[in-house]
C-alpha cells in the first residue's frame, strides 16, 4: 500500500513563488551633497572725511583747491552687480552729483555751505541740467570730477558687463563678480558760474555715495 503525502496548498504556493523574491546585486549608491553659498557684496572707503583748503585770487573770482581723491573698494560674488554713484548735500535732501560737459568724467559735484544753508533752488541751479548762474546759486560751489575710474583687481578679477548709464544725477556701473577700486579725482578749481562773493566763508560739504544693488 502506497502512502502519498500531499503538501498543503498554501505551502506549495510559497515554495513555487520563492524565486520571485530573490534580490538583484547592487554595487553603487549615490549621495548628493550641496553647498549653498550666500550672495555677498561689500563696499567700503578709507576716505570717510577728507578736506581741501580752498584759497582764492585777489579778486575773489577763482578758487585754488587741494585735490580731493576719494576711493571706494568693492567686493562681490554677484555676476549681475549694479554699482550706483550719487552724492547728497549734508542734509541728505538734494542731489549733489550732476552730469555736465567739461570735466573729463562728464560729472561735477556741488558743495553746500554748512552754516549759511543754501536754498534748494541754489543747489538745483547747478544740478538741474541748466547753465549755472552766480546770481542764483549763493553758498553753493561746483567742482568738476576730472577722473572717475573703476579698476578690477589683477589678483581677484572682475569685469564690467557693459558701459552702464550716465544719468543726470548718477553714474551707474554694471559689473561681474570680483574685487574693484573706484577712484575719484576732483579738479583744483571751481566750475564756471558757481563761485562769487555770494558764497559766504565757512565749510562747504558734500557726501559722495556708492550703492550696490543686484541686477539678477
Among 27-36, 84-93, 205-214, the minimum mean pLDDT is found in 84-93
Query: What range does the domain containing 151 cover?
Result: 41-47+65-214
120 inside domain? yes
Report residue 127 as a C-alpha cell: 544740478
- Mean pLDDT, residues 45-66: 92
Q: Is residue 103, in this structure, part of any structural domain at all?
A: yes
Please state which of the ranges 13-27, 68-82, 109-123 shows the lowest mean pLDDT.
13-27
52 lies in some domain: no
Asked if the structure places residue 28 within a domain, the reply is no
Q: Which residues make Cβ contacts (< 8 Å) with residue 67, sequence separation at least 6?
A: 52, 185, 186, 187, 188
In a domain, 200, yes or no: yes
Is 30 domain-assigned? no
- Confidence at 20, pLDDT banded by 50, 70, 90: low
In a domain, 98, yes or no: yes
Q: Is 17's pLDDT higher than 80? A: no
Is 178 a domain residue?
Answer: yes
pLDDT at 200 over 90: yes
User: Where residue 11 falls among pLDDT bands split at 50, 70, 90?
Assistant: very low
Domains held by the chain: number: 1
Mean of all residue pLDDT scores within the chain: 89
Question: What is the mean predicted confidence (pLDDT) over 39-44?
Answer: 96
CA 150 → CA 8, 80, 190, distances in Å? 89, 16, 24
Amino acid at each position: 500500500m502506497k502512502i502519498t503525502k500531499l503538501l498543503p496548498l498554501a505551502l506549495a504556493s510559497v515554495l513555487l513563488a520563492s524565486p520571485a523574491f530573490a534580490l538583484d546585486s547592487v554595487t553603487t549608491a549615490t549621495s548628493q551633497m550641496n553647498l549653498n553659498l550666500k550672495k555677498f557684496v561689500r563696499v567700503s572707503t578709507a576716505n570717510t572725511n577728507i578736506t581741501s583748503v580752498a584759497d582764492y585770487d585777489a579778486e575773489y573770482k577763482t578758487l585754488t583747491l587741494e585735490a580731493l581723491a576719494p576711493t571706494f573698494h568693492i567686493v562681490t560674488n554677484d555676476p549681475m552687480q549694479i554699482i550706483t554713484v550719487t552724492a547728497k548735500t549734508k542734509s541728505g535732501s538734494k542731489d549733489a552729483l550732476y552730469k555736465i560737459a567739461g570735466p573729463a568724467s562728464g560729472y561735477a559735484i556741488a558743495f553746500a555751505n554748512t552754516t549759511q544753508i543754501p536754498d534748494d533752488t541754489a543747489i538745483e541751479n547747478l544740478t538741474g541740467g541748466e547753465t549755472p548762474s552766480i546770481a542764483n546759486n549763493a553758498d553753493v560751489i561746483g567742482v568738476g570730477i576730472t577722473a572717475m575710474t573703476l579698476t578690477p583687481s589683477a589678483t581677484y578679477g572682475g569685469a564690467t558687463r557693459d558701459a552702464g548709464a550716465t544719468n543726470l544725477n548718477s553714474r551707474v556701473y554694471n559689473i561681474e563678480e570680483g574685487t574693484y577700486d573706484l577712484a575719484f579725482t576732483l579738479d583744483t578749481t571751481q566750475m564756471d558760474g558757481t563761485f562769487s562773493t555770494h558764497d559766504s566763508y565757512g565749510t562747504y560739504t558734500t557726501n559722495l555715495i556708492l550703492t550696490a544693488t543686484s541686477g539678477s
